[in-house]
Amino acid sequence: MKVPVAILGATGYVGQRLVSLLADHPYFEIVRLVASPKSAGQSYGQRMAGNWQLSDCELPAQLSAAKIYAPEPLEEALGPAKLVFSALAMEKDEILKLEEEIARSERIVLSNNSAHRWTPDVPLLIPEINAQQLEVLAAQKRRLGTQKGFIIAKPNCSIQAYVPALTPLLDCGLEEVFVATYQAVSGAGKRLSDWPEMQENMIPYIGGEEEKSESEPLKVWGQIKAGQIEKAKAPIISAHCCRVAVPEGHSAVVSFKLKQKLSQAEILDRWAAFNRDLPSLGLPNAPENFLSYYAEADRPQAKLDLRSEKGMGISIGRLREDPIFDYKFVCLSHNTLRGAAGGSVLSAELLYRLGYFEE
Ligand code: NAP
Smallest CA separation from ligand 1 atom 25, residue: 189
Nearest to 169 by CA among 339, 326, 346, 338: 326
157 in active site: yes
Q: What pLDDT does residue 118 have?
A: 98
Strand ranges (DSSP E) for the chain? Answer: 3-8, 28-34, 68-69, 83-86, 108-111, 150-153, 174-183, 202-203, 223-225, 228-230, 236-244, 250-258, 291-294, 314-321, 327-333
Residue whose CB lies within 8 A of the most ligand 1 atoms, among 13, 39, 211, for a mutation test: 13
Ligand 1 centroid distance, CA of 246 (Å): 20
Mean pLDDT of successive 10-residue segments in the chain (359 residues)?
A: 97 97 98 98 98 95 98 98 97 98 98 98 98 98 98 98 98 98 96 95 98 98 98 98 97 98 97 89 95 98 96 98 98 97 98 95
Report pLDDT digits (tens) over 20-72. 999 999 999 999 999 999 999 999 999 999 999 999 999 999 999 999 999 99
Catalytic residue among 25, 116, 241, 250: 250
How many CB atoms within 10 Å of residue 298?
10
Nearest CA to ligand 1 atom 13: 36
Q: How far is the CA of 140 from the centre of ligand 1 (A)?
A: 25
Taking the C-alpha atoms of residue 239 and residue 181, their distance in angstroms, rounded to an integer, is 8
Judge contact between 15 and 39, C-beta under 8 A. no
Read off the pTM: 0.97
- With the most atoms of ligand 1 within 8 angstroms of its CB, the residue from 14, 111, 243 to mutate is 14
Q: How far is the CA of 28 from the centre of ligand 1 (A)?
A: 21
Q: Of 157, 241, 331, 334, which is the active-site residue?
A: 157
- Torsion sign, CA atoms 334, 339, 340, 345: positive
Ligand 1 centre distance from Cα of residue 38 (Å): 14
Q: Give the separation between CA 33 and CA 48, rounded to whole angstroms.
A: 12
Distance between alpha carbon 177 and the CA centroid of its chain, in Å? 21
